[in-house]
Structure 1
Protein backbone atom coordinates (compact mmCIF):
# COMPACT_ATOMS: atom_id res chain seq x y z
CA UNK A 1 0.00 0.00 0.00
CA UNK A 2 1.35 3.43 -0.92
CA UNK A 3 2.42 5.77 1.88
CA UNK A 4 -0.12 8.54 2.38
CA UNK A 5 1.26 12.11 2.74
CA UNK A 6 1.22 13.41 6.31
CA UNK A 7 -0.74 16.54 5.31
CA UNK A 8 -3.45 14.46 3.65
CA UNK A 9 -3.65 12.16 6.67
CA UNK A 10 -4.06 15.13 9.02
CA UNK A 11 -6.77 16.54 6.75
CA UNK A 12 -8.70 13.25 6.80
CA UNK A 13 -8.57 13.02 10.59
CA UNK A 14 -9.71 16.63 10.98
CA UNK A 15 -12.59 16.23 8.53
CA UNK A 16 -13.69 12.81 9.80
CA UNK A 17 -13.19 12.63 13.59
CA UNK A 18 -13.62 9.52 15.70
CA UNK A 19 -17.31 8.66 16.11
CA UNK A 20 -18.34 9.75 12.61
CA UNK A 21 -21.14 7.69 11.09
CA UNK A 22 -20.07 5.62 8.06
CA UNK A 23 -22.68 4.35 5.57
CA UNK A 24 -21.42 1.51 3.39
CA UNK A 25 -22.43 1.77 -0.27
CA UNK A 26 -20.10 -0.70 -1.96
CA UNK A 27 -17.06 -2.72 -0.90
CA UNK A 28 -14.28 -4.51 -2.74
CA UNK A 29 -15.19 -7.65 -0.79
CA UNK A 30 -17.63 -9.72 -2.92
CA UNK A 31 -19.60 -11.16 0.03
CA UNK A 32 -19.39 -8.75 2.97
CA UNK A 33 -20.87 -9.96 6.32
CA UNK A 34 -23.36 -7.09 6.41
CA UNK A 35 -25.99 -5.48 4.21
CA UNK A 36 -25.02 -2.61 1.91
CA UNK A 37 -26.47 0.61 3.26
CA UNK A 38 -25.75 -0.43 6.84
CA UNK A 39 -24.08 2.14 9.09
CA UNK A 40 -21.11 1.87 11.41
CA UNK A 41 -19.05 4.14 13.63
CA UNK A 42 -15.55 5.32 12.76
CA UNK A 43 -13.01 4.22 15.37
CA UNK A 44 -9.86 5.54 13.73
CA UNK A 45 -8.06 6.43 10.52
CA UNK A 46 -4.75 4.60 10.55
CA UNK A 47 -1.41 5.84 9.22
CA UNK A 48 -2.20 4.40 5.79
CA UNK A 49 -5.43 6.38 5.55
CA UNK A 50 -7.66 3.32 6.03
CA UNK A 51 -10.97 3.84 7.83
CA UNK A 52 -11.54 1.39 10.71
CA UNK A 53 -15.30 1.13 11.22
CA UNK A 54 -17.20 -0.74 13.93
CA UNK A 55 -20.45 -2.08 12.50
CA UNK A 56 -23.63 -2.48 14.56
CA UNK A 57 -23.05 -6.23 14.84
CA UNK A 58 -19.61 -5.69 16.34
CA UNK A 59 -17.62 -6.45 13.18
CA UNK A 60 -14.54 -4.24 12.71
CA UNK A 61 -14.31 -3.27 9.04
CA UNK A 62 -11.37 -1.68 7.23
CA UNK A 63 -12.34 0.59 4.34
CA UNK A 64 -9.91 1.89 1.73
CA UNK A 65 -10.45 5.12 -0.18
CA UNK A 66 -10.67 4.42 -3.89
CA UNK A 67 -11.54 0.76 -3.36
CA UNK A 68 -14.66 1.01 -1.18
CA UNK A 69 -17.57 3.43 -1.56
CA UNK A 70 -19.00 4.96 1.59
CA UNK A 71 -20.36 8.23 2.94
CA UNK A 72 -19.34 9.94 6.17
CA UNK A 73 -21.54 11.98 8.50
CA UNK A 74 -19.97 13.94 11.38
CA UNK A 75 -20.62 12.64 14.90
CA UNK A 76 -23.22 14.31 17.06
CA UNK A 77 -21.74 16.98 19.35
CA UNK A 78 -20.90 15.92 22.90
CA UNK A 79 -21.08 18.12 25.97
CA UNK A 80 -17.82 19.21 27.58
CA UNK A 81 -17.94 21.30 30.76
CA UNK A 82 -15.27 23.71 31.93
CA UNK A 83 -15.54 24.59 35.62
CA UNK A 84 -14.42 27.81 37.31
CA UNK A 85 -14.77 29.15 40.88
CA UNK A 86 -17.66 31.54 41.44
CA UNK A 87 -17.84 34.51 43.81
CA UNK A 88 -20.28 37.38 44.31
CA UNK A 89 -20.72 40.64 46.21
CA UNK A 90 -23.93 40.73 48.26
CA UNK A 91 -25.41 44.11 49.14
CA UNK A 92 -28.07 44.09 51.86
CA UNK A 93 -30.52 46.69 53.09
CA UNK A 94 -30.37 48.19 56.55
CA UNK A 95 -33.23 48.62 58.95
CA UNK A 96 -34.33 51.73 57.09
CA UNK A 97 -34.61 49.93 53.78
CA UNK A 98 -31.51 51.61 52.38
CA UNK A 99 -28.82 49.63 50.56
CA UNK A 100 -25.59 49.33 52.51
CA UNK A 101 -22.46 50.76 50.87
CA UNK A 102 -20.26 47.83 51.87
CA UNK A 103 -20.80 44.37 50.49
CA UNK A 104 -20.18 40.85 51.73
CA UNK A 105 -18.07 38.59 49.51
CA UNK A 106 -19.72 35.21 49.00
CA UNK A 107 -17.90 32.09 47.82
CA UNK A 108 -19.29 29.07 45.98
CA UNK A 109 -20.57 27.44 49.15
CA UNK A 110 -22.63 30.47 50.15
CA UNK A 111 -23.88 30.95 46.59
CA UNK A 112 -25.71 27.60 46.54
CA UNK A 113 -28.68 29.40 48.07
CA UNK A 114 -28.86 31.71 45.03
CA UNK A 115 -28.48 29.14 42.24
CA UNK A 116 -31.88 29.83 40.68
CA UNK A 117 -31.44 33.60 40.63
CA UNK A 118 -27.94 33.40 39.14
CA UNK A 119 -28.93 30.88 36.47
CA UNK A 120 -31.91 33.01 35.45
CA UNK A 121 -29.68 36.10 35.20
CA UNK A 122 -27.12 34.24 33.06
CA UNK A 123 -29.81 33.09 30.62
CA UNK A 124 -31.41 36.54 30.43
CA UNK A 125 -28.01 38.12 29.71
CA UNK A 126 -27.43 36.09 26.55
CA UNK A 127 -27.59 38.24 23.42
CA UNK A 128 -29.73 37.45 20.34
CA UNK A 129 -26.54 36.91 18.31
CA UNK A 130 -25.60 34.10 20.71
CA UNK A 131 -28.76 32.04 20.15
CA UNK A 132 -26.99 29.35 18.10
CA UNK A 133 -23.35 29.28 19.19
CA UNK A 134 -23.30 31.20 22.46
CA UNK A 135 -20.07 33.08 23.14
CA UNK A 136 -18.38 31.20 20.28
CA UNK A 137 -20.19 33.74 18.09
CA UNK A 138 -17.48 36.22 19.14
CA UNK A 139 -14.52 33.86 18.69
CA UNK A 140 -13.47 35.37 15.37
CA UNK A 141 -10.90 32.81 14.23
CA UNK A 142 -11.18 30.24 11.45
CA UNK A 143 -9.28 27.41 13.12
CA UNK A 144 -9.89 23.89 14.45
CA UNK A 145 -11.34 25.19 17.72
CA UNK A 146 -13.96 27.19 15.82
CA UNK A 147 -14.78 24.15 13.67
CA UNK A 148 -15.03 21.68 16.56
CA UNK A 149 -16.68 23.80 19.27
CA UNK A 150 -20.20 24.44 18.02
CA UNK A 151 -21.36 26.45 21.02
CA UNK A 152 -20.33 27.58 24.50
CA UNK A 153 -22.56 29.18 27.13
CA UNK A 154 -22.06 30.20 30.75
CA UNK A 155 -24.19 28.49 33.38
CA UNK A 156 -23.84 27.30 37.00
CA UNK A 157 -23.80 23.91 38.68
CA UNK A 158 -24.09 22.81 42.31
CA UNK A 159 -21.43 20.17 42.88
CA UNK A 160 -19.33 18.94 45.78
CA UNK A 161 -20.96 21.35 48.18
CA UNK A 162 -20.49 24.56 46.22
CA UNK A 163 -21.81 26.45 43.23
CA UNK A 164 -19.47 26.56 40.23
CA UNK A 165 -19.42 28.72 37.15
CA UNK A 166 -19.55 26.43 34.11
CA UNK A 167 -18.91 26.91 30.41
CA UNK A 168 -20.99 24.24 28.65
CA UNK A 169 -19.35 23.49 25.30
CA UNK A 170 -20.85 21.39 22.49
CA UNK A 171 -17.89 19.74 20.78
CA UNK A 172 -17.71 17.63 17.64
CA UNK A 173 -14.87 15.13 17.78
CA UNK A 174 -12.00 15.42 20.25
CA UNK A 175 -9.98 18.51 21.08
CA UNK A 176 -6.21 18.11 21.06
CA UNK A 177 -4.37 19.37 24.19
CA UNK A 178 -3.35 22.47 22.24
CA UNK A 179 -6.94 23.12 21.11
CA UNK A 180 -8.25 22.64 24.65
CA UNK A 181 -5.71 25.18 25.92
CA UNK A 182 -6.83 27.65 23.24
CA UNK A 183 -10.48 27.14 24.20
CA UNK A 184 -9.70 27.64 27.91
CA UNK A 185 -7.82 30.85 27.16
CA UNK A 186 -10.69 32.20 25.07
CA UNK A 187 -13.34 31.38 27.71
CA UNK A 188 -11.11 32.80 30.46
CA UNK A 189 -10.93 36.03 28.49
CA UNK A 190 -14.70 36.11 28.08
CA UNK A 191 -15.17 35.44 31.82
CA UNK A 192 -12.79 38.23 32.83
CA UNK A 193 -12.79 40.99 30.22
CA UNK A 194 -15.60 40.14 27.81
CA UNK A 195 -18.98 38.65 28.53
CA UNK A 196 -18.30 38.22 32.23
CA UNK A 197 -17.23 41.84 32.73
CA UNK A 198 -20.62 43.04 31.59
CA UNK A 199 -22.44 40.38 33.58
CA UNK A 200 -20.80 41.22 36.90
CA UNK A 201 -22.02 44.83 36.61
CA UNK A 202 -25.67 43.76 36.45
CA UNK A 203 -27.49 43.53 39.75
CA UNK A 204 -29.31 40.28 40.48
CA UNK A 205 -32.35 40.62 42.68
CA UNK A 206 -32.10 38.32 45.72
CA UNK A 207 -35.20 39.18 47.70
CA UNK A 208 -34.61 42.66 49.09
CA UNK A 209 -30.87 42.38 48.48
CA UNK A 210 -28.67 42.68 45.39
CA UNK A 211 -26.07 40.26 44.13
CA UNK A 212 -23.18 40.96 41.72
CA UNK A 213 -21.68 37.71 40.44
CA UNK A 214 -18.08 37.27 39.25
CA UNK A 215 -17.27 34.52 36.77
CA UNK A 216 -13.60 35.46 37.19
CA UNK A 217 -11.46 36.83 39.99
CA UNK A 218 -7.79 37.49 40.63
CA UNK A 219 -7.15 35.05 43.47
CA UNK A 220 -7.34 31.23 43.36
CA UNK A 221 -9.05 31.11 39.98
CA UNK A 222 -8.62 28.46 37.32
CA UNK A 223 -10.63 26.89 34.53
CA UNK A 224 -10.62 23.09 34.35
CA UNK A 225 -12.40 20.21 32.69
CA UNK A 226 -14.65 17.94 34.72
CA UNK A 227 -11.89 15.34 34.85
CA UNK A 228 -9.25 17.85 35.95
CA UNK A 229 -11.48 19.41 38.60
CA UNK A 230 -13.17 16.36 40.08
CA UNK A 231 -11.11 13.27 39.17
CA UNK A 232 -10.39 11.15 42.26
CA UNK A 233 -6.91 11.67 43.69
CA UNK A 234 -6.13 7.98 43.37
CA UNK A 235 -5.85 8.51 39.59
CA UNK A 236 -2.97 10.93 40.15
CA UNK A 237 -0.66 8.03 41.01
CA UNK A 238 -1.30 6.31 37.69
CA UNK A 239 0.40 6.80 34.31
CA UNK A 240 -1.27 8.96 31.68
CA UNK A 241 -1.99 5.87 29.61
CA UNK A 242 -1.26 2.18 29.28
CA UNK A 243 -1.93 -0.65 26.83
CA UNK A 244 -3.97 -3.80 27.33
CA UNK A 245 -5.94 -6.40 25.37
CA UNK A 246 -9.62 -7.34 25.34
CA UNK A 247 -10.24 -10.72 26.92
CA UNK A 248 -12.95 -11.53 24.36
CA UNK A 249 -11.20 -10.70 21.09
CA UNK A 250 -7.56 -10.10 21.98
CA UNK A 251 -7.74 -6.64 20.41
CA UNK A 252 -4.96 -4.28 21.50
CA UNK A 253 -6.42 -1.22 23.26
CA UNK A 254 -5.27 1.99 24.91
CA UNK A 255 -6.54 3.10 28.34
CA UNK A 256 -6.21 6.75 29.41
CA UNK A 257 -6.14 7.83 33.04
CA UNK A 258 -9.42 9.30 34.25
CA UNK A 259 -11.41 8.30 31.13
CA UNK A 260 -14.10 5.64 31.04
CA UNK A 261 -13.71 2.73 28.64
CA UNK A 262 -10.90 2.38 26.13
CA UNK A 263 -9.92 3.22 22.57
CA UNK A 264 -8.57 0.86 19.87
CA UNK A 265 -4.82 1.11 19.40
CA UNK A 266 -3.17 1.63 16.04
CA UNK A 267 -0.59 -0.94 17.20
CA UNK A 268 -3.17 -3.76 17.00
CA UNK A 269 -1.80 -6.62 14.88
CA UNK A 270 -4.96 -8.69 14.58
CA UNK A 271 -3.14 -11.58 16.25
CA UNK A 272 -4.11 -12.30 19.88
CA UNK A 273 -0.78 -13.79 20.97
CA UNK A 274 1.30 -11.10 19.28
CA UNK A 275 -0.89 -8.40 20.85
CA UNK A 276 -0.21 -9.84 24.33
CA UNK A 277 3.52 -9.67 23.70
CA UNK A 278 3.25 -6.19 22.22
CA UNK A 279 1.31 -4.88 25.25
CA UNK A 280 4.16 -5.90 27.55
CA UNK A 281 6.70 -4.24 25.25
CA UNK A 282 4.74 -0.98 24.95
CA UNK A 283 4.00 -0.73 28.68
CA UNK A 284 7.65 -1.40 29.50
CA UNK A 285 8.69 1.48 27.25
CA UNK A 286 6.18 3.74 29.05
CA UNK A 287 7.42 2.58 32.45
CA UNK A 288 4.01 1.11 33.33
CA UNK A 289 4.18 -1.63 35.95
CA UNK A 290 1.84 -4.66 36.02
CA UNK A 291 0.17 -3.21 39.14
CA UNK A 292 -0.48 0.07 37.38
CA UNK A 293 -1.89 -1.72 34.36
CA UNK A 294 -4.32 -3.69 36.53
CA UNK A 295 -5.40 -0.52 38.31
CA UNK A 296 -5.91 1.28 34.98
CA UNK A 297 -8.06 -1.59 33.68
CA UNK A 298 -10.28 -1.50 36.77
CA UNK A 299 -10.49 2.29 36.79
CA UNK A 300 -11.62 2.46 33.15
CA UNK A 301 -14.37 -0.09 33.83
CA UNK A 302 -15.51 0.46 37.43
CA UNK A 303 -14.64 4.12 37.92
CA UNK A 304 -11.49 5.86 39.09
CA UNK A 305 -12.69 6.02 42.68
CA UNK A 306 -13.04 2.24 42.89
CA UNK A 307 -10.60 0.53 45.32
CA UNK A 308 -9.23 -1.53 42.43
CA UNK A 309 -8.11 1.65 40.64
CA UNK A 310 -5.33 2.06 43.20
CA UNK A 311 -2.11 0.26 42.11
CA UNK A 312 -1.20 -0.24 45.78
CA UNK A 313 -4.01 -2.80 45.94
CA UNK A 314 -1.90 -5.15 43.83
CA UNK A 315 1.34 -4.85 45.76
CA UNK A 316 2.45 -8.14 47.41
CA UNK A 317 2.12 -6.91 51.01
CA UNK A 318 -1.43 -5.64 50.38
CA UNK A 319 -2.47 -8.87 48.65
CA UNK A 320 -1.13 -10.91 51.55
CA UNK A 321 -2.99 -8.79 54.10
CA UNK A 322 -6.15 -9.00 52.02
CA UNK A 323 -6.02 -12.79 52.10
CA UNK A 324 -5.61 -13.07 55.85
Structure 2
Protein backbone atom coordinates (compact mmCIF):
# COMPACT_ATOMS: atom_id res chain seq x y z
CA UNK A 1 0.00 0.00 0.00
CA UNK A 2 1.21 3.49 -0.86
CA UNK A 3 -0.17 6.67 0.71
CA UNK A 4 0.08 9.98 -1.13
CA UNK A 5 -0.58 12.97 1.14
CA UNK A 6 -1.56 16.46 0.00
CA UNK A 7 -2.97 19.61 1.64
CA UNK A 8 -6.70 20.25 1.63
CA UNK A 9 -8.39 23.56 0.98
CA UNK A 10 -11.56 23.87 3.04
CA UNK A 11 -13.87 26.86 3.00
CA UNK A 12 -17.15 27.81 4.57
CA UNK A 13 -19.44 30.72 3.87
CA UNK A 14 -20.44 32.90 6.77
CA UNK A 15 -24.18 33.00 7.25
CA UNK A 16 -26.35 34.98 9.55
CA UNK A 17 -28.30 38.18 9.84
CA UNK A 18 -25.88 40.03 7.56
CA UNK A 19 -26.12 37.38 4.80
CA UNK A 20 -22.44 37.06 4.08
CA UNK A 21 -22.99 33.95 1.98
CA UNK A 22 -20.73 35.27 -0.75
CA UNK A 23 -17.87 35.78 1.71
CA UNK A 24 -15.81 32.58 1.80
CA UNK A 25 -13.75 31.89 4.90
CA UNK A 26 -10.86 29.44 4.94
CA UNK A 27 -10.59 26.72 7.56
CA UNK A 28 -7.09 25.77 8.71
CA UNK A 29 -5.92 22.15 8.60
CA UNK A 30 -5.95 22.11 12.42
CA UNK A 31 -9.54 23.44 12.53
CA UNK A 32 -10.54 20.92 9.86
CA UNK A 33 -9.84 18.02 12.25
CA UNK A 34 -13.26 18.75 13.80
CA UNK A 35 -14.89 17.96 10.45
CA UNK A 36 -13.03 14.70 9.70
CA UNK A 37 -16.10 12.46 10.18
CA UNK A 38 -18.34 14.64 7.98
CA UNK A 39 -15.69 14.78 5.24
CA UNK A 40 -15.10 11.01 5.41
CA UNK A 41 -18.87 10.43 5.08
CA UNK A 42 -19.00 12.69 2.00
CA UNK A 43 -16.02 10.89 0.45
CA UNK A 44 -17.63 7.49 1.14
CA UNK A 45 -20.80 8.69 -0.58
CA UNK A 46 -18.77 9.92 -3.55
CA UNK A 47 -16.80 6.65 -3.71
CA UNK A 48 -20.00 4.62 -4.17
CA UNK A 49 -19.97 5.74 -7.82
CA UNK A 50 -16.98 3.51 -8.56
CA UNK A 51 -18.21 0.38 -10.30
CA UNK A 52 -15.41 -2.16 -10.20
CA UNK A 53 -13.78 -2.02 -6.77
CA UNK A 54 -10.67 -0.29 -8.10
CA UNK A 55 -11.65 3.30 -7.34
CA UNK A 56 -9.76 5.87 -9.38
CA UNK A 57 -7.37 3.15 -10.61
CA UNK A 58 -10.00 2.24 -13.21
CA UNK A 59 -9.11 5.52 -14.97
CA UNK A 60 -5.37 4.85 -15.27
CA UNK A 61 -4.03 4.60 -18.82
CA UNK A 62 -3.15 1.14 -20.08
CA UNK A 63 0.38 0.10 -19.20
CA UNK A 64 2.55 -0.98 -16.30
CA UNK A 65 0.98 1.49 -13.86
CA UNK A 66 -2.51 0.13 -14.48
CA UNK A 67 -1.18 -3.40 -14.02
CA UNK A 68 0.62 -2.61 -10.74
CA UNK A 69 -1.96 -0.31 -9.09
CA UNK A 70 -4.92 -2.45 -8.10
CA UNK A 71 -6.92 0.30 -6.38
CA UNK A 72 -6.75 4.02 -5.67
CA UNK A 73 -9.12 5.66 -3.21
CA UNK A 74 -9.23 9.22 -1.83
CA UNK A 75 -9.61 9.82 1.88
CA UNK A 76 -8.51 12.17 4.66
CA UNK A 77 -6.30 11.50 7.68
CA UNK A 78 -5.10 13.40 10.70
CA UNK A 79 -1.33 13.83 10.70
CA UNK A 80 0.42 15.91 13.36
CA UNK A 81 -2.84 17.51 14.51
CA UNK A 82 -3.85 18.58 11.00
CA UNK A 83 -6.27 17.11 8.47
CA UNK A 84 -4.68 16.05 5.18
CA UNK A 85 -5.98 14.59 1.98
CA UNK A 86 -4.59 11.18 1.11
CA UNK A 87 -4.81 8.84 -1.86
CA UNK A 88 -4.47 5.23 -0.79
CA UNK A 89 -3.03 3.07 -3.55
CA UNK A 90 -3.32 -0.70 -3.30
CA UNK A 91 -0.31 -2.06 -5.15
CA UNK A 92 0.16 -5.50 -6.69
CA UNK A 93 3.91 -4.85 -6.84
CA UNK A 94 6.36 -2.02 -6.15
CA UNK A 95 6.49 0.95 -8.50
CA UNK A 96 9.64 2.22 -10.19
CA UNK A 97 10.64 5.86 -9.73
CA UNK A 98 9.17 6.71 -13.12
CA UNK A 99 5.89 4.91 -12.29
CA UNK A 100 5.70 6.69 -8.93
CA UNK A 101 6.10 10.05 -10.71
CA UNK A 102 3.39 9.02 -13.19
CA UNK A 103 1.05 8.07 -10.33
CA UNK A 104 1.72 11.42 -8.59
CA UNK A 105 0.86 13.24 -11.84
CA UNK A 106 -2.35 11.19 -12.13
CA UNK A 107 -3.34 12.01 -8.52
CA UNK A 108 -2.63 15.71 -9.08
CA UNK A 109 -4.86 15.67 -12.16
CA UNK A 110 -7.66 13.83 -10.34
CA UNK A 111 -7.45 16.28 -7.44
CA UNK A 112 -7.75 19.35 -9.65
CA UNK A 113 -9.88 18.28 -12.62
CA UNK A 114 -11.41 14.90 -11.84
CA UNK A 115 -12.56 13.52 -8.54
CA UNK A 116 -11.55 16.63 -6.58
CA UNK A 117 -13.47 18.95 -8.90
CA UNK A 118 -16.67 17.00 -8.32
CA UNK A 119 -16.21 16.81 -4.56
CA UNK A 120 -15.50 20.52 -4.12
CA UNK A 121 -18.84 21.42 -5.72
CA UNK A 122 -20.88 19.46 -3.17
CA UNK A 123 -21.53 21.07 0.20
CA UNK A 124 -20.76 18.95 3.25
CA UNK A 125 -23.11 19.55 6.15
CA UNK A 126 -21.55 20.00 9.59
CA UNK A 127 -22.99 21.18 12.92
CA UNK A 128 -21.35 24.56 12.17
CA UNK A 129 -22.79 24.92 8.66
CA UNK A 130 -21.74 23.79 5.21
CA UNK A 131 -18.13 23.35 4.17
CA UNK A 132 -16.55 22.80 0.76
CA UNK A 133 -13.45 20.61 0.43
CA UNK A 134 -10.91 20.83 -2.38
CA UNK A 135 -8.26 18.17 -2.80
Which has more radius of gyration? Answer: 1
Which residue is equivalent to 2:8? 86
Q: Deviations over 1:133-160 (max 9, x none)?
A: 0011122x22111001000010000011
Which residue is equivalent to 1:132? 53
Deviates most, 120-129 or 83-92: 120-129
Partners of 1:208 and 1:111 in 2: how far apart?
Answer: 12
TM-score in terms of structure 2 length: 0.93
Matches within 5 A, 1:88-237: 88-95=10-17, 100-139=21-60, 141-215=61-135
TM-score in terms of structure 1 length: 0.40
How far the C-alpha of 1:131 sits from its partner, in A, is 4.6
RMSD of the alignment, in Å? 1.6
The structure, 1 or 2, with the larger RCO (C-alpha pairs under 8 Å, 6+ apart) is 2
Matches within 5 A, 1:1-324: 79-95=1-17, 100-139=21-60, 141-215=61-135
Equivalent position SS for 1:129: coil
For the 8 Å contact 1:87–1:111, the answer to whether it is kept is no
Partners of 1:129 and 1:190 in 2: how far apart?
Answer: 14
Partners of 1:204 and 1:131 in 2: how far apart?
Answer: 26
Higher strand share: 2
Q: How many residues align?
A: 135
Partners of 2:130 and 2:20 in 1: how far apart?
Answer: 9
Structure 1: gaps (5+ residues) = 1-78, 216-324
How far the C-alpha of 1:208 sits from its partner, in A, is 4.8
Partners of 1:91 and 1:183 in 2: how far apart?
Answer: 34
Equivalent position SS for 1:151: strand
Partners of 2:51 and 2:119 in 1: how far apart?
Answer: 15
Structure 2: gaps (5+ residues) = none
Hey, which bits of structure 1, 4+ residues long, moved more than 3 A? Answer: 127-131
